[in-house]
């Protein structure tokens, strides 16, 4: 059995598509995603959808968890961090925040 492991996509849709294409050429049986699908790039939602479609196992990375969870004291954080959280959350839906 051939297994591919991917991680640290960080919203880079073009890199993810290229990686998936390469994996499919190699006749891999299972794909495991170790997380960090979102943050940094602007295509978090699209990357999540592709990962959910193609991967057999999906783990939530530290960035996925951080930007998906509710922050109780967000107003106590530095303004720049508040903006990072709000921007990343604006790119994904509640459904996107769930792993399977």
Tens place of pLDDT for every residue, the chain, 100 residues? 999 999 999 999 999 999 999 999 999 999 999 999 999 999 999 999 999 999 999 999 999 999 988 888 899 999 999 999 999 999 999 888 875 5
pLDDT at 44: 95
Q: How many CB atoms within 10 Å of residue 54?
A: 18
* Residue 47: alpha-carbon gap to chain centroid: 6
CATH number of 3-97: 3.60.21.10
pLDDT at 99: 57
C-alpha to C-alpha distance for 37 and 62, rounded to whole angstroms: 10
pLDDT at 96: 85
């Amino acid at each position: 059995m051939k297994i591919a492991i991917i991680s640290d996509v960080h919203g880079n849709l073009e890199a993810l598509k290229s990686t998936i294409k390469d994996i499919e050429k190699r006749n891999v049986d299972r794909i495991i995603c170790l997380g960090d699908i979102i943050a940094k790039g602007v295509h978090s939602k699209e990357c999540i959808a592709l990962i959910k479609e193609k991967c057999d196992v999906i783990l939530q990375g530290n960035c996925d968890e951080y930007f998906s969870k509710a922050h109780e004291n967000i107003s106590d954080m530095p303004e720049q961090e508040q903006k990072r959280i709000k921007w990343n959350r604006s790119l994904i839906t509640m459904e996107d925040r769930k792993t399977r």
